[in-house]
Amino acid sequence: MAAVCPECNGTGWKIVEREEISGAERCDCVLVERAQRLESEAQIPPLYANASFDNFLLTRENPIAYRNMQEVLLTVRNFAREYPHGRHGGLLLMGEPGTGKTHLAVAALRAIMAKGFEGLYFDFQNLLDRIRSSFSNDESRVGDKEAYRDAMEAEVLLLDDLGAHRMSDWVEDTVTSIITYRCNNRKSLIATTNLIDAEAGYATVQRAEPGKPVDYRTTLSERIGPRARSRLFEMCRVVRMPLVEDYRLRKQGAQ
Ligand SMILES: Nc1ncnc2c1ncn2[C@@H]1O[C@H](COP(=O)(O)OP(=O)(O)O)[C@@H](O)[C@H]1O
Ligand SMILES: [Mg+2]
Ligand SMILES: [Zn+2]
């Protein structure tokens, strides 16, 4: 057991004097304890156990990417700082694999939890698998029914790798209902995706070399459906990650 807090003698309240009037205020130790509990309930994967804004590094190898990444970091930091009073109810991080989307999304979730709000991490694919299996009427799967409800009700939901799943009507309906519910009920959403979208400035057609067929890239809308995509853009501050060398490969190379 932790030692009794010297500030409040373990009561959770401390007397503070402000302009000669004394009153009771919540002690910081209560917030710290709550933040620790929130952290342990958020289901953040072990790989991101320490991911924070402070250990998100900006590499200087490419000055333009450096500046853009600095801007991305600032935008995401501000989103977390302003929560729950920010202009946008959500944050959508778009970009290539290994550019730090999940790291930044988790850092934002953490910063929000540090303020006492409840956060929940879900890998998109894993969430769908769990929801699907909960419909199998298998009693042993009863716990999975909660996955759907949790994704709807969590104060702040992190949906990681949106669209990394084979598309089906079922997937489209499920993701649409989650995003629509959250949007309508002003519940925050942080999402990441490797998929592209023309509105975010991505070219959806790769310029083909002469004689080669045109290469169409998979868009977010194709994977999650136009309705979910449109709600997402409506509620989210959309952030496009600059193209940097895949951080995973970089780390391997350094070993
Ligand atoms: N700028 C960065 N500074 C420090 N670590 C990073 C940075 N970008 C990525 N990483 C780390 O590299 C790994 C891959 O990053 P991740 O956020 O999973 O990329 P993405 O979600 O875009 O595919 C993670 O372990 C992450 O913590
Ligand atoms: Mg990721
Ligand atoms: Zn205390």
Q: Ligand 3 being an ion, which residues bring their Cβ within 5 A of it? A: 5, 7-8, 27, 29
- CB of 101 shorter than 6 A to ligand 1: yes
Atom of ligand 1 nearest to the CA of 57: 3
Q: Tell me how far apart the alpha carbons of residues 58 and 73 are, in angstroms, rounded to a whole number.
A: 9
Predicted structure pTM score: 0.88
Is residue 1 assigned to a domain? no
Residue nearest to atom 27 of ligand 1 (CA): 103
Q: Determine the pLDDT at residue 137.
A: 65
Is residue 8 assigned to a domain? no
Residue nearest to atom 4 of ligand 1 (CA): 56
- Token pair, residue 120, equals 């929940």
- Claim to verify: residue 133 and residue 218 sit in the same structural domain: yes
Q: Determine the pLDDT at residue 253.
A: 62
CA triple 101-243-235, angle to 5 deg: 45
Nearest ligand to the C-alpha atom of residue 161: 2
- Token pair, residue 87, equals 């202009």
- CB of 51 shorter than 6 A to ligand 1: yes
- Claim to verify: residue 19 and residue 81 sit in the same structural domain: no
Read off the pLDDT band of 1 (50, 70, 90): very low
Residue 30: domain span:
13-40
Residue 105: count of CB within 10 angstroms of its CB:
24
102, 125, 193: residue to mutate for ligand 1 pocket, most atoms within 8 A of CB:
102
- Claim to verify: residue 174 and residue 217 sit in the same structural domain: yes
Is residue 7 assigned to a domain? no
Ligand 3 centroid distance, CA of 24 (Å):
12
- Claim to verify: residue 90 and residue 66 sit in the same structural domain: yes
Ligand 2 centroid distance, CA of 73 (Å):
16
- Claim to verify: residue 123 and residue 247 sit in the same structural domain: yes
pLDDT tens-place string over residues 46-71: 999 999 999 999 988 889 999 999 99
**Average pLDDT in the 159-177 region?**
90
Residue 150: count of CB within 10 angstroms of its CB:
15
Of 46, 176, 36, 193, whose CA–CA distance to 119 is shortest? 36
Atom of ligand 1 nearest to the CA of 95: 22
Do 196 and 218 touch, CB atoms closer than 8 A?
A: yes
- Token pair, residue 24, equals 């009771």
Predicted confidence (pLDDT) at residue 87 exceeds the cutoff of 90: yes
pLDDT tens-place string over residues 175-222: 999 999 999 999 999 999 999 998 888 888 776 677 777 777 889 999
